[in-house]
C-alpha cells in the first residue's frame, strides 16, 4: 500500500473504493483449516485429562473465531477504529464474565445441623 495515502477515516474519504480493493482471500483454504481444527476439537475429547481437553478446546475455539472474524467478516482490512471498538467489546465481555463468575460457579451448601 502506498505510504503517502492518509489513514483511518481520511483514507476512506480520499481513496476511491476501486483503488482500495484488497481482493478475496482463498475461502477454500480457510474452510478446510476450520474443518481440520473442528476435527482436532472432536478428537481432543478422547484425551483422558479434562484440563488438557479444556485448554485444547478453548485455544482452538479462539483460533477459529479469529479466523472467522478476520476473513469471513473482513476485519483484517478494516481501519484501526474498528479494532479499538472490538477490543473494548472484548474487555467489556471479560469484565462481565469475571464480575458474574461468583454467581455462576456452584457453591457447596452449608452443613445444617439439626438441634
In a 13 Å sphere around the CA of 6, the CA atoms on its Cβ side amount to 9
Do residues 23 and 77 lie in contact, with contact meaning Cβ atoms separated by under 8 Å?
A: no
- Whose grid coordinates read 469484565? 95
Apex 74 CA angle, 88 and 44, nearest 5: 80
Alpha-carbon 55 to chain mean position: 15
Burial classification of residue 30, based on how many CB atoms lie within 10 Å of its CB (0-12 exposed, 13-18 middle, 19 or more buried): middle
Q: Please state whether the predicted TM-score (pTM) of the whole model is above 0.75.
A: no
In a 13 Å sphere around the CA of 39, the CA atoms on its Cβ side amount to 6
Q: Residue 71 has which C-alpha cell?
A: 476473513
Give the C-alpha separation, 38 to 32, whole Å.
10
What pLDDT, on a 0 to 100 scale, did the predictor assign at position 115?
60
Q: Give, for all 115 residues of the chain, the pLDDT tens digit.
A: 556 666 656 666 666 555 555 667 788 999 999 999 999 999 998 999 988 998 999 899 989 988 888 888 777 777 777 778 888 988 998 899 888 877 777 666 666 666 6
Amino acid at each position: 500500500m502506498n505510504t503517502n495515502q492518509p489513514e483511518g477515516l481520511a483514507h476512506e474519504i480520499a481513496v476511491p473504493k476501486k483503488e482500495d480493493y484488497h481482493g478475496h482471500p482463498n475461502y477454500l483454504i480457510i474452510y478446510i483449516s476450520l474443518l481440520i481444527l473442528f476435527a482436532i476439537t472432536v478428537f481432543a475429547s478422547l484425551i483422558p485429562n479434562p484440563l488438557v481437553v479444556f485448554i485444547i478446546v478453548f485455544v482452538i475455539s479462539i483460533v477459529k473465531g479469529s479466523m472467522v472474524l478476520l476473513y469471513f467478516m473482513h476485519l483484517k482490512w478494516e481501519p484501526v477504529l474498528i479494532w479499538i471498538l472490538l477490543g473494548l467489546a472484548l474487555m467489556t465481555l471479560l469484565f462481565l464474565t469475571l464480575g458474574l463468575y461468583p454467581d455462576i460457579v456452584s457453591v457447596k451448601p452449608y452443613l445444617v445441623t439439626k438441634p
